[in-house]
Protein backbone atom coordinates (compact mmCIF):
# COMPACT_ATOMS: atom_id res chain seq x y z
CA UNK A 1 0.00 0.00 0.00
CA UNK A 2 1.57 3.24 -1.10
CA UNK A 3 0.77 6.64 0.42
CA UNK A 4 2.59 8.46 -2.34
CA UNK A 5 0.52 11.29 -3.76
CA UNK A 6 0.36 12.00 -7.40
CA UNK A 7 1.43 15.34 -8.85
CA UNK A 8 -2.25 16.10 -9.59
CA UNK A 9 -3.16 15.54 -5.92
CA UNK A 10 -0.33 17.75 -4.75
CA UNK A 11 -1.36 20.46 -7.21
CA UNK A 12 -4.99 20.20 -6.08
CA UNK A 13 -3.86 20.59 -2.44
CA UNK A 14 -1.79 23.65 -3.36
CA UNK A 15 -4.76 25.21 -5.18
CA UNK A 16 -7.07 24.49 -2.23
CA UNK A 17 -4.61 25.95 0.28
CA UNK A 18 -4.13 29.06 -1.88
CA UNK A 19 -7.90 29.57 -1.96
CA UNK A 20 -8.09 29.13 1.83
CA UNK A 21 -5.23 31.57 2.28
CA UNK A 22 -6.92 34.10 -0.03
CA UNK A 23 -10.12 33.86 2.03
CA UNK A 24 -8.16 34.26 5.27
CA UNK A 25 -6.30 37.29 3.91
CA UNK A 26 -9.59 38.85 2.76
CA UNK A 27 -11.04 38.35 6.25
CA UNK A 28 -7.95 39.91 7.86
CA UNK A 29 -8.15 42.80 5.40
CA UNK A 30 -11.75 43.43 6.37
CA UNK A 31 -10.98 43.24 10.09
CA UNK A 32 -8.11 45.75 9.91
CA UNK A 33 -9.83 48.13 7.51
CA UNK A 34 -10.32 51.54 9.19
CA UNK A 35 -14.07 51.53 8.49
CA UNK A 36 -14.41 48.16 10.20
CA UNK A 37 -12.36 49.29 13.19
CA UNK A 38 -14.40 52.49 13.49
CA UNK A 39 -17.66 50.59 13.09
CA UNK A 40 -16.66 48.11 15.81
CA UNK A 41 -15.64 50.96 18.12
CA UNK A 42 -18.93 52.76 17.50
CA UNK A 43 -20.86 49.58 18.21
CA UNK A 44 -19.00 49.12 21.51
CA UNK A 45 -19.67 52.73 22.51
CA UNK A 46 -23.35 52.46 21.62
CA UNK A 47 -23.61 49.23 23.58
CA UNK A 48 -21.91 50.79 26.60
CA UNK A 49 -24.13 53.89 26.41
CA UNK A 50 -27.25 51.73 26.07
CA UNK A 51 -26.23 49.65 29.09
CA UNK A 52 -25.41 52.77 31.14
CA UNK A 53 -28.65 54.48 30.13
CA UNK A 54 -30.58 51.32 30.99
CA UNK A 55 -28.97 51.12 34.42
CA UNK A 56 -29.61 54.83 34.99
CA UNK A 57 -33.23 54.43 33.93
CA UNK A 58 -33.66 51.50 36.30
CA UNK A 59 -32.06 53.43 39.16
CA UNK A 60 -34.26 56.48 38.57
CA UNK A 61 -37.33 54.26 38.23
CA UNK A 62 -36.56 52.57 41.57
CA UNK A 63 -35.96 55.95 43.20
CA UNK A 64 -39.22 57.38 41.86
CA UNK A 65 -41.11 54.26 42.91
CA UNK A 66 -39.58 54.50 46.38
CA UNK A 67 -40.49 58.18 46.71
CA UNK A 68 -43.98 57.51 45.41
CA UNK A 69 -44.43 54.69 47.93
CA UNK A 70 -43.37 57.00 50.76
CA UNK A 71 -45.61 59.87 49.65
CA UNK A 72 -48.79 57.99 48.73
CA UNK A 73 -51.09 55.45 50.32
CA UNK A 74 -51.58 52.07 48.67
CA UNK A 75 -54.73 53.37 46.99
CA UNK A 76 -52.74 56.23 45.40
CA UNK A 77 -54.02 59.00 47.68
CA UNK A 78 -51.33 61.41 48.87
CA UNK A 79 -50.02 61.11 52.44
CA UNK A 80 -50.43 64.74 53.40
CA UNK A 81 -48.42 64.26 56.61
CA UNK A 82 -45.42 63.50 54.35
CA UNK A 83 -46.20 65.53 51.23
CA UNK A 84 -46.65 68.90 52.98
CA UNK A 85 -43.21 68.92 54.71
CA UNK A 86 -41.52 67.87 51.45
CA UNK A 87 -43.34 70.58 49.51
CA UNK A 88 -42.38 73.20 52.12
CA UNK A 89 -38.75 72.10 51.96
CA UNK A 90 -38.75 72.37 48.15
CA UNK A 91 -40.31 75.84 48.29
CA UNK A 92 -37.72 76.89 50.86
CA UNK A 93 -34.79 75.67 48.78
CA UNK A 94 -36.14 77.34 45.64
CA UNK A 95 -36.63 80.57 47.60
CA UNK A 96 -33.07 80.47 48.92
CA UNK A 97 -31.73 79.86 45.43
CA UNK A 98 -33.75 82.79 44.08
CA UNK A 99 -32.46 85.11 46.83
CA UNK A 100 -28.85 84.08 46.32
CA UNK A 101 -29.05 84.62 42.55
CA UNK A 102 -30.53 88.11 43.13
CA UNK A 103 -27.72 89.01 45.51
CA UNK A 104 -25.09 87.91 42.98
CA UNK A 105 -26.64 90.05 40.24
CA UNK A 106 -27.23 93.09 42.32
Asked, for residue 99, whether it belongs to a domain, the answer is yes
- Tell me the average pLDDT across 37-43: 94
pLDDT class for 106, splitting at 50, 70, 90? low
Phi-psi region of 89 (alpha: psi -120 to 50; beta: other; left: phi over 0): alpha
The C-alpha atoms of residue 47 and residue 49 are separated, in whole angstroms, by 5
Closest CA to 82 of 74, 91, 73: 73
- Tell me the average pLDDT across 37-51: 94
Tens of pLDDT, residues 67-78: 899 999 989 899
Task: State the Cα angle at 29 between 24 and 35, rounded to 5°.
Answer: 145
Asked, for residue 98, whether it belongs to a domain, the answer is yes
The C-alpha atoms of residue 20 and residue 18 are separated, in whole angstroms, by 5
Task: State the Cα angle at 50 between 27 and 34, rounded to 5°.
Answer: 30
Q: Comparing 2 with 104, which gets the higher pLDDT?
A: 104
| pLDDT score of 2 more than 80 | no
The pLDDT value given to residue 21: 96
Asked, for residue 95, whether it belongs to a domain, the answer is yes
Asked, for residue 6, whether it belongs to a domain, the answer is no
- CB contact at 8 A, 36 and 30: yes
Q: Write out the residue range of the structural domain in which residue 106 sits.
A: 76-106
The pLDDT value given to residue 5: 92
Tens of pLDDT, residues 53-102: 999 999 999 999 998 999 999 898 999 999 999 899 999 999 999 998 88
The pLDDT value given to residue 42: 95
Asked, for residue 1, whether it belongs to a domain, the answer is no
Domain count, the chain: 1
Amino acid sequence: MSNARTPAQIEADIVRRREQLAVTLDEIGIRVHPKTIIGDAKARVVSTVDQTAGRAYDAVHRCVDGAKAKLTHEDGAPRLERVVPVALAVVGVVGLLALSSRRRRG
